[in-house]
Structure 1
Amino acid sequence: MTDRTRRLVLPLAAFLFGVVALGIAAVLTLTPQGREVASSDVGGPFTLVDHFGTPVTQADFLGEPHLVFFGFTHCPDVCPTKLFEIAETLDAVKERSGRDMRALFITVDPERDTPEIMEAYVSSFDDRILGLTGTPEQVDAVVSAYRAFARKVPLDEGDYTMEHTAIVYIMNEEGRFVAGLNTAKAPEEAAEELLARI
């Protein structure tokens, strides 16, 4: 890439990232009628399967605050980066407070992300991250309940990728949405923010 091309592409990429971030923020904060969304409007009942093949519902995670992140195992960069940041944040939380928090990694690509594939994927990050999958209908219901976004994007030769929300949701012990967590901060700062909100 030439210097001239780089000068043109990098600002455009930053602008597009900003537009996507604003769109996600709007989805989380506004209803279609323009009213603010209460925290209780994000999240809700679900039935999925964890990466051990065990059926789980939202009730299995009540009683302790936890994180939720949507992604998929074929994700080239956003998901592995975010899961690494989540793992580092969980380490920092443990160091600061002694608490062993959990994170749920919910696939938006259930056609490819079987429990076995999810287990192999999340085990490379942290054993406090639990991979969840299900039928396409079950996954669509969770994505909708969390006011998230996921869309299949066709690629060459019949392959595809997924566009999806990249927010890390902080859920309290009652399973209610508290806020999004900025894991791009230093792990100690992200942990401090997280502990202040739960």
Structure 2
Amino acid sequence: MRINCSPAGCLLLLLTVVLWSPSPLAKSPVFSLLNTGGANVTEAAFIGKFHLVFFGYRHCQHTCPVSLSAMAQALNMLGQIAEKQVVPVFVSVDSQRADAAALKVFAEAFHPAMTALYGSADDIKKANYEFKVLVTKLPSRQSQDYEISHSSSTYLLDPSGAIVEQYAYGTSASVIAKNLAARIKSVSQ
């Protein structure tokens, strides 16, 4: 397997894997963000159901679409079980370009039940810290715009709101679905 990234991106990836990856049994993250309807969403909203959470940005051309597609495919594999017990969540790490309407369309293009969250730069920074997501803004080589290098794990929170699993980038939808089905079954018993 070959990893293709800029020096800054590779350093971020190394730091993420070696120093900053959360324990699969981390405490419940504390955060306050907005949904695309403008309502405040805190960790309290994550109580009672499983949540699959991915941090990224709408202009991402590779990592985010791959991870969000795997999340959506896993939910589709589980069908009605997922519809009743799992909430897919996309958290935008790009506060400058966070447009509620565009984020809603972006998230729902992957799965109709996906919730998109965003916030101010400070709110996103706090959420990133709680989930141990690393984010670095990088100038684009082709335009005045910018890209964002970010951690690429998908987090599974249990119905108590605790992070119980961290799926690395590239984890297949079938692995996510199998793991999620087992966790749902264990809670249902």
Structure 1 range deviating more: 165-174 or 113-122 = 113-122
* 2:93 match: 108
- TM-superposed deviation, 1:186: 4.6
Deviation string 1:170-197 (CA, Å, 9 cap, x unpaired) is: 1111111111125745533321122224
- TM-superposed deviation, 1:141: 0.3
Identity score, percent: 23
Deviation string 1:30-88 (CA, Å, 9 cap, x unpaired) is: xxxxxxx57234x5221111122222111112111111100000001111121111100
Structure 1 range deviating more: 49-58 or 159-168 = 49-58
Structure 1 range deviating more: 96-105 or 119-128 = 96-105
SS in 2 for 1:79: helix
User: What is the TM-score normalised by the length of structure 1?
Assistant: 0.79
Q: Pick from 148, 155, 161: which aligns with 1:169?
A: 155
Q: Pick from 11, 17, 28: which aligns with 1:25?
A: 17
1:57 and 2:50 are equivalent in the alignment: no
- Conservation of the 8 A alpha-carbon contact between 1:151 and 1:163: yes
Whole-Å separation in 1 of the counterparts to 2:152 and 2:105: 21
* 1:148 match: 133
User: What is the TM-score normalised by the length of structure 2?
Assistant: 0.82
SS in 1 for 2:60: coil
Q: 1:169 corresponds to which letter in structure 2?
A: Y
- Conservation of the 8 A alpha-carbon contact between 1:44 and 1:146: yes
1:194 and 2:162 are equivalent in the alignment: no
Decide which structure has the larger Cα Rg and report it.
1
Deviation string 1:79-132 (CA, Å, 9 cap, x unpaired) is: 112111110001112267774411111011011012112112112111221100
Q: 2:163 corresponds to which letter in structure 1?
A: F
* 2:187 match: none
Structure scoring higher RCO (CA < 8 A, sep ≥ 6) equals 2
* 2:33 match: 48
